[in-house]
């Protein structure tokens, strides 16, 4: 959350700031553009007006002087003069030819003509001739009087149309002289609208219109867009005339209103006294301003968007490490120093990212130092048992996926006690160091477990030959003696091997198995190796095969139960039986419960098998109680069964169906599962106790072995594990521990059963310790159902232990043991 808020606020803040700055910038830009454009526009109006107006009057001037030049050619021609001096006799042909030539060389004039002074006869282009009354035409009188050699300009409106039919026309007139004598005049006539056509060729600006007016402000020719001119000049009939009349000064721009817009007008006097009126439509001027203005704004808006996108990308690029940095810091504070940002940016944020990486590296290095300190054994420099557990767990996790086995080798130096006694403790440590180094020279994963015990983890690819070879290599490291204090020590060691996952799937159990195997190896003599599960070593039954066959075991009637008597030490009576399951698989042969129970737990098959065991056990209990109502049946229940919600219901139903007394049922659970129940809030244990069923804690001493929880749980019996009894006669420590366990639980009102008693010596010690019950081969091996029934029926007469029977049994078992060991040694 914090991480996200930081991310959001940082980027958002920057974006907001940039946005505000941009808006201010755009506002300023728009404002200034507005002002500048506005002033440019007014400047533009002036130049448009002046340029257009001058162009218009120039156009008029050019057209008229072009015509004048042609007229002059006609007027000064001797043929023209001769013709006009003697109109009756002179040949008119060359003059007509001249007129035609002139007319066609300069498009436009409506007519070219000359008028004789003598009789008012005229000659017009196209070979036309006739008579006019010269006194009726002021231009004729003007020409006669004129001393000028340039044409005079006249405007003719409707009244005196002579040669051409049109609205307004312009006449250029020039006197013709023969030897200095006035003989007539020549003229050119053209429609006034020719001037407009020439003007419009010269004006390009939209909204600019020009008109030509005579000296009395009559419009001779005007722009084509009549309608707009009418609007501009207020729809007056004489709009342009009166506008021109209002403008007295020539060459000044006059503003005038038409509707809401201000338009502009200007007058110019051109040749022949013609006036040129130029109007600039204010609406068009404003329109072009708005157009220009909006174009600029669109461009600006595009630039703004582009700039914003660019900025965002720059920020995103520059700040791209920030989320990673905050992630990394969170990881570091959570204790994970592996995380690296690996930023490629070289800005400050990149530098921060690098510093964070450095920090993580430093912490990781320091942590590794601390880790080493915690996990290295100072004496040998090997990794200690903490690291070993970690390794085993890691291996188990990775093996679960690949389903590959690994071996755990438990190594114990033979006669180490003797070595320390002769060398002293300081040199004993030195010896251990050398020992560890030699192991490590052969295999990388060596751990010091405790004292003179080392553990090696080894892969073997399901090929037991690889393990055998490894052990050979380890042993050959010690062919050379270890030299300490000028002493040469020839070292031997015993190895016990357990296999994951066949032997056990929990690190403690796997170590225990290897330890047990190591003890067996020691029993055989020095420098021996022993597998925890020798049959596995030979047959290599895979877990998957067992799991698969287990499914059909019940259906195929391959399972049956054995019953092992539990005998009271105090009076030698039968206290009860422990129910032990047996599996005679058709394909696998007899599979020991140590092997298959655990697999059944993992696959869940134990639920069905356990239910069958419980029901069969109760059915048998009913039969036994008919003979001896005090006998109890002690039934092993797996934690997998206990955790099932329907477990209590099943138990209750079974008790009802077989009509057994719950007080005669005992359920055996292991310490491990009991601890799970203390931690969880499952009340199954309490419910069983409430039903009157007794609870026994099995294998006490192999797990947590804490008395702490015993008093809080409804435990009635404690079963002391066989491993304590095994060396109770030879190991003082085991003797002491067993004694104190019995004492302690007596105080808590809990009964003790000691398992695995095989000799009369063990029996005597336990009887002395006032243990309550004994279960072991010394009393009886597990019996099949009919033997167990017979055992109960004939107990008093045949089976109740006496000193003699116990001694006999004890001896028999000792012989069996010896034979077994001999057999094992031969195998090894």
Q: Which residues bind Ca ion (CB under 5 A)?
A: 636, 668, 698-699, 755
Task: Output the six-digit token pair for 751.
Answer: 């009964």
Helix 606-627 and helix 647-658, axial crossing angle in degrees, nearest 10: 30
Smallest gap from residue 669 Cβ to Ca ion (A): 9
Decide if residue 597 touches ligand C2E (CB under 6 A). Answer: yes
At 555, is the secondary structure helix, strand, or coil? coil
Smallest gap from residue 670 Cβ to ligand C2E (A): 7
Burial class of residue 80 in the structure, from the number of CB atoms within 10 Å of its CB (0-12 exposed, 13-18 middle, 19+ buried): buried
At 777, is the secondary structure helix, strand, or coil? coil
CA dist., res. 754 & res. 183, Å (int):
169
User: Rg (Cα) of the chain, in Å, rounded?
Assistant: 64
The smaller minimum CB distance to ligand C2E, of residues 213 and 597, is found at 597
Stretch that binds ligand C2E, among 279-287, 341-349, 453-461, 775-783 (CB under 6 A): 775-783
Residues 624 to 653 in contact with ligand C2E, rule: CB under 6 A = 636, 638
The smaller minimum CB distance to Ca ion, of residues 53 and 636, is found at 636
Instruction: Let me know how long the chain is.
Output: 828
Smallest gap from residue 668 Cβ to ligand C2E (A): 6
Q: What are residue 809's DSSP bridge partners?
A: none
Residues 549 to 568 in contact with ligand C2E, rule: CB under 6 A = 564
Smallest gap from residue 708 Cβ to ligand C2E (A): 22
- Which of the listed partners (Ca ion, ligand C2E, none) does 634 bind, with a CB threshold of 5 to 8 Å by partner kind? none
The distance from CA 162 to its chain's CA centroid, rounded to whole angstroms, is 97
Smallest gap from residue 771 Cβ to ligand C2E (A): 14
Decide if residue 594 touches ligand C2E (CB under 6 A). Answer: yes
Decide if residue 757 touches ligand C2E (CB under 6 A). Answer: yes
- Which of the listed partners (Ca ion, ligand C2E, none) does 55 bind, with a CB threshold of 5 to 8 Å by partner kind? none
CA dist., res. 33 & res. 28, Å (int):
8
Please select the residue that binds ligand C2E; options are 123, 756, 763, 788, rule is CB under 6 A.
Answer: 756
Task: Output the six-digit token pair for 298.
Answer: 């669109």
Task: Output the six-digit token pair for 100.
Answer: 């035609």
The smaller minimum CB distance to Ca ion, of residues 345 and 702, is found at 702
The smaller minimum CB distance to ligand C2E, of residues 325 and 674, is found at 674
CA dist., res. 119 & res. 184, Å (int):
10
Helix spans in 376-414 (H): 385-402
The smaller minimum CB distance to ligand C2E, of residues 362 and 811, is found at 811
- Which of the listed partners (Ca ion, ligand C2E, none) does 31 bind, with a CB threshold of 5 to 8 Å by partner kind? none
Decide if residue 698 touches ligand C2E (CB under 6 A). Answer: yes
CA dist., res. 690 & res. 685, Å (int):
9
Give the C-alpha distances (Å, rounded to integers) separating 726 from 516, 527, 667, 689: 11, 22, 25, 32
Decide if residue 758 touches ligand C2E (CB under 6 A). Answer: yes
CA dist., res. 772 & res. 572, Å (int):
10
Decide if residue 21 touches ligand C2E (CB under 6 A). Answer: no
Stretch that binds ligand C2E, among 110-118, 575-583, 643-651, 743-751 (CB under 6 A): 575-583
Smallest gap from residue 699 Cβ to ligand C2E (A): 5
CA dist., res. 433 & res. 445, Å (int):
15
Decide if residue 752 touches ligand C2E (CB under 6 A). Answer: no
For residue 69, what are the contacts with CB-CB under 8 A and spacing of at least 6? Answer: none
Task: Output the six-digit token pair for 698.
Answer: 């099995």
In terms of phi and psi (left: phi > 0; alpha: psi -120 to 50; beta: otherwise), the region of 126 is left
Give the C-alpha distances (Å, rounded to integers) separating 14 from 1, 23, 765: 20, 14, 85
Token pair 């809401």: residue: 260
- Which of the listed partners (Ca ion, ligand C2E, none) does 120 bind, with a CB threshold of 5 to 8 Å by partner kind? none
- Which of the listed partners (ligand C2E, Ca ion, none) does 580 bind, with a CB threshold of 5 to 8 Å by partner kind? ligand C2E
Token pair 């796997």: residue: 510
Total site size for ligand C2E, rule CB under 6 A? 22
Stretch that binds ligand C2E, among 162-170, 403-411, 754-762, 793-801 (CB under 6 A): 754-762
The smaller minimum CB distance to ligand C2E, of residues 530 and 775, is found at 775
Sign, Cα dihedral of 727, 731, 735, 737:
negative
Residues 227 to 286 in contact with ligand C2E, rule: CB under 6 A = none
Stretch that binds ligand C2E, among 71-79, 197-205, 508-516, 770-778 (CB under 6 A): 770-778
- Which of the listed partners (Ca ion, ligand C2E, none) does 777 bind, with a CB threshold of 5 to 8 Å by partner kind? ligand C2E
The smaller minimum CB distance to ligand C2E, of residues 168 and 641, is found at 641
212-234 core/surface letters (b: 16 or more CB in 10 A; e: else): bbbeebbbbbbbeeeebbebbbe
Would you tell me which residues interact with ligand C2E (CB under 6 A)? 564, 579-581, 592-594, 597, 613, 636, 638, 698-699, 722, 755-758, 775-777, 782
């Amino acid at each position: 959350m914090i991480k996200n808020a930081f991310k959001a606020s940082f980027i958002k803040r920057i974006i907001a700031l940039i946005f505000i700055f941009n808006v201010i910038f755009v506002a300023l830009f728009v404002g200034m553009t507005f002002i500048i454009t506005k002033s440019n526009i007014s400047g533009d109006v002036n130049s448009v007006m002046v340029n257009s107006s001058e162009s218009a009057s120039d156009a008029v001037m050019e057209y008229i002087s072009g015509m004048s030049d042609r007229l002059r050619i006609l007027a000064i021609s001797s043929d023209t003069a001769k013709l006009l001096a003697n109109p009756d006799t002179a040949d008119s042909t060359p003059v007509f030819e001249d007129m035609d030539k002139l007319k066609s060389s300069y498009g436009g004039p409506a007519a070219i003509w000359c008028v004789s002074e003598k009789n008012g006869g005229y000659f017009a282009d196209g070979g036309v001739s006739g008579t006019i009354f010269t006194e009726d035409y002021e231009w004729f009188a003007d020409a006669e009087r004129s001393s000028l050699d340039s044409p005079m300009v006249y405007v003719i409106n409707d009244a005196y149309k002579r040669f051409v039919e049109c609205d307004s026309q312009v006449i250029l007139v020039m006197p013709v002289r023969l030897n200095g004598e006035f003989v007539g005049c020549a003229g050119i006539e053209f429609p006034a609208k020719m001037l407009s056509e020439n003007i419009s060729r010269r004006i390009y600006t939209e909204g600019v219109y020009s008109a030509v007016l005579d000296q009395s402000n009559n419009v001779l020719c005007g722009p084509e867009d009549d309608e707009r001119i009418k609007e501009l000049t207020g729809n007056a009939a004489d709009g342009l005339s009166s506008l021109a009349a209002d403008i007295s000064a020539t060459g000044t721009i006059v503003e005038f209103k038409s509707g809401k817009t201000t338009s502009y007008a200007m007058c110019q006097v051109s040749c022949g006294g013609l006036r040129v009126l130029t109007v600039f439509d204010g609406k068009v001027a404003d329109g072009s301003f708005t157009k220009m203005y909006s174009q600029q704004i669109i461009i600006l808006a595009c630039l703004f968007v582009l700039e914003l996108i660019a900025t965002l990308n720059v920020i995103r690029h520059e700040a791209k490490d920030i989320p990673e940095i905050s992630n990394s810091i969170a990881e570091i504070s959570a204790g994970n120093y592996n995380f690296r940002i690996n930023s490629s940016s070289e800005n400050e944020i990149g530098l921060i990212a690098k510093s964070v990486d450095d920090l993580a590296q430093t912490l990781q290095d320091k942590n590794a130092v601390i880790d080493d300190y915690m996990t290295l054994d100072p004496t040998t420099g090997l990794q200690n048992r903490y690291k070993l557990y970690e390794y085993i767990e890691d291996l188990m996790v990775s093996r679960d996926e690949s389903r590959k086995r690994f071996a755990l080798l438990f190594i114990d130096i033979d006669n180490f006690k003797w070595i320390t006694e002769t060398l002293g403790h300081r040199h004993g440590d030195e010896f251990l160091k050398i020992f560890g180094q030699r192991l490590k020279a052969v295999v990388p994963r060596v751990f010091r477990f405790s004292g003179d015990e080392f553990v090696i983890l080894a892969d073997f690819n399901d090929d037991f030959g690889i393990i055998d070879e490894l052990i050979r290599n380890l042993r050959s490291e010690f062919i050379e003696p270890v030299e300490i204090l000028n002493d040469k020590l020839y070292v031997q060691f015993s190895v016990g091997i357990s296999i994951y996952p066949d032997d056990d799937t929990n690190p403690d159990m796997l170590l225990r198995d290897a330890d047990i195997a190591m003890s067996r190896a020691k029993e055989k003599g020095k420098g021996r190796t022993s597998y925890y599960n020798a049959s596995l070593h030979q047959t290599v039954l895979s877990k998957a095969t067992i799991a698969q066959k287990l499914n059909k075991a019940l259906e195929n009637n391959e399972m049956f139960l054995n019953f092992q008597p539990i005998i009271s030490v105090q009076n030698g009576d039968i206290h009860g039986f422990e129910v032990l399951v047996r599996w005679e698989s058709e394909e696998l042969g007899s599979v020991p419960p140590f092997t298959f129970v655990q697999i059944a737990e993992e696959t869940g098959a134990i639920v069905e098998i356990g239910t069958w065991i419980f029901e069969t056990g109760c059915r048998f209990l009913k039969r036994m109680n008919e003979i001896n109502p005090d006998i109890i049946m002690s039934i092993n229940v797996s934690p997998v069964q206990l955790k099932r919600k329907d477990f209590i219901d099943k138990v209750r139903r079974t008790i009802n169906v077989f009509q057994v007394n719950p007080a005669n049922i005992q359920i055996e659970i292991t310490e491990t599962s009991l601890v799970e129940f203390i931690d969880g809030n499952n009340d199954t244990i309490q419910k069983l106790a409430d039903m009157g069923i007794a609870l026994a804690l099995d294998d006490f001493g192999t797990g947590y072995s804490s008395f702490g929880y015993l008093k809080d749980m409804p435990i009635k019996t404690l079963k002391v594990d066989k491993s304590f009894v095994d060396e109770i006669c030879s190991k003082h420590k085991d003797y002491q521990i067993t004694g104190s366990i019995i004492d302690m639980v007596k105080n808590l009102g809990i009964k003790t059963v000691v398992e695995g008693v095989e000799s009369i010596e063990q029996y005597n010690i336990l009887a002395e310790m006032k243990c309550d019950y004994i279960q072991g081969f010394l009393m009886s091996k597990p019996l099949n159902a009919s033997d167990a029934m017979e055992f109960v029926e004939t107990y008093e007469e045949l089976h109740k232990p006496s000193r003699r029977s116990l001694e006999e049994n004890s001896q028999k078992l000792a012989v069996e043991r010896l034979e077994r060991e001999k057999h094992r040694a031969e195998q090894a």
